[in-house]
Amino acid sequence: MSSSQAKTKKNITLAQHAGFCYGVKRAVETTKKLKLQNPNKEVFVLGELIHNSLVIQELENLNIKKIDSPSDCPFKDGLCVIRSHGVSPAVYRELEEKGIEIADLTCPDVKKVQKKAIELAQDGYLVIIIGKPEHPEVVAIKANAQEFSQSVYVVSSTEDLKEIEEQIKLSKKVGIVVQTTQRISLLNEISNYLLPKVAELKVFNTICASTTLRQEDAKNLAQKSDLMIVVGSKNSANTSHLAEILEDITKTIHIETDSELDLYKETIENSQNIGVTAGASTPEYLIKKVLDKLNQY
C-alpha cells in the first residue's frame, strides 16, 4: 500500500453498545418462538412490535399480523402479543373479556416506570411523566397512573410545564418518572425547574440502563470522530434522541438503511474517523450492512 493510500484509509468504529436492547431482543425472539410453537394459531401483535419497518416486514412474512386495537381482532382463539411498550389497563381488560390468550412482553424496565407512576398517583402526588405524549410507552404509563388519579401530565420541555403551572402550584407534592429512552439532560432540566416551585419533589430516574450506556458510549466515540452515523428508524424515540445528543458533539447523520449512505457520499469521503452506533430497535444484520458499505469507501 502506498503512503497516500494509507493516509486516506478510514477508521470505522462501531460503538460497543449498539443495536437491540434486552427488552426488544426478548420481544422479537419470543414472538417468533410463539408462532413456531403455535403454527395453527393466529399470532398477532397489538401495534408495531418495535419501531423498525424491516423487522415488522420480517414478522409479516412469518404470518404474524399487526392489529391497532383489540376491536380489530377477529381471532377469538388467537394469541395476542403485547409489545415492549406496554398497554393501558383498559386495553388489557378488553383482550381478556374477548377471551384472547395474552403474551405480555412489556419490557421489565417499562413495567418499573408504570409501577412508580402508580405508586406516586396512589400516594397523592401530581404525576409528571417526561416523554413524548404520543409515544405508546408514555400513553401506557399515563393510563396506568390514571387508574388512581387524574392529576397525571406528560411534558417534553419546561415550556410544557408552564401550561400546568397552576396545577403545580396547587399541589403540595409532585412526582416525576421518565420515559425509558429519554435524555438525562432533559430530566435534570425539568427537575431543576420544578425544585424551587414545589414543597416536595420526588424524582425517579427511570431511564433504562441500556439507554444510558448507549448514549454515553456513543458520546465518547463522537468526541474522537469526524462523523457519527446513527442507524435506526426515524420513528424510534431512542434512536432520534441518540442523533440529537451526538449532533452537539460532531457531524452526525441519521439513516434507516445502508442504501441511504449514498445520499451522504461526499460527507463520508471527507471524513477520516467515522463512528457508528444504532438504536435499540435496530437489528444486527442492518448494522453489519452499513459497516460493510462504509468499508467500501
* Statement: residue 36 has pLDDT above 90: yes
> Which CATH number belongs to the domain containing residue 84 in this structure?
3.40.50.11270
Report the pLDDT averaged over residues 96-124.
95
Segment 191-205 mean pLDDT: 96
**C-alpha cell belonging to residue 150:** 387524574
* 128-178 pLDDT per residue, tens: 999 999 999 999 999 999 999 999 999 999 999 999 999 999 998 999 999
In the numeric block, the cell 381488560 is attached to 93
Among residues of the chain, what percentage have pLDDT more than 70?
A: 96
Asked if 255 and 285 sit in the same domain, the reply is yes
137 is catalytic: yes
131/157 Cα distance (integer angstroms): 9
Strand boundaries in the chain, DSSP class E: 11-14, 43-46, 65-67, 79-82, 101-104, 126-130, 152-155, 173-178, 200-203, 227-231, 251-255, 273-278
Residues 144 and 182 placed together within one structural domain of the fold:
yes
> Among the three residues 45, 73, 106, which one is the final residue of a domain in this structure?
106
Residue 70 has a pLDDT of: 86
Same domain? For 145 and 171 the reply is yes
Q: Tell me: do 13 and 29 sit in the same domain.
A: no
Is residue 137 domain-shared with residue 76, that is, in the same domain? no
CATH number of the domain encompassing residue 287: 3.40.1010.20
Q: In angstroms, rounded to a whole number, what is the distance separating the alpha carbons of residues 186 and 209? A: 16
Q: Say if residue 77 is in the same domain as residue 117.
A: no
- Asked if the model's pLDDT at residue 201 lies above 50, the reply is yes
**Residues 114 and 102 placed together within one structural domain of the fold:** no
DSSP conformational letter for 267:
H
The residue among 106, 137, 172 that closes a domain is 106
**Which residues span the domain enclosing 129?**
109-203
Do 48 and 117 lie in a common domain? no
Same domain, 178 and 119: yes
Is residue 82 within 8 A of residue 46, CB to CB? The reply is yes
Question: Of 161, 184, 203, which closes a domain?
Answer: 203
**pLDDT at residue 53 greater than cutoff 90:** no
SS3 content of the chain, % helix, strand, coil (to 5): 50, 20, 35
Note the pLDDT of residue 121. Answer: 98
- 85 and 144 housed in the same domain: no
Q: Are 16 and 26 in a shared domain?
A: no
d(CA 156, CA 112): 20
Residues 119 and 197 in one domain: yes
- pLDDT above 50: residue 7: no
101-104 β-sheet, strand order: 65-67, 43-46, 79-82, 101-104
| Confidence at 2, pLDDT banded by 50, 70, 90 | very low
**Residue of 137, 165, 166, 266 marked catalytic:** 137
Residue 203 reports pLDDT greater than 60: yes
Q: How many domains does the chain have?
A: 3
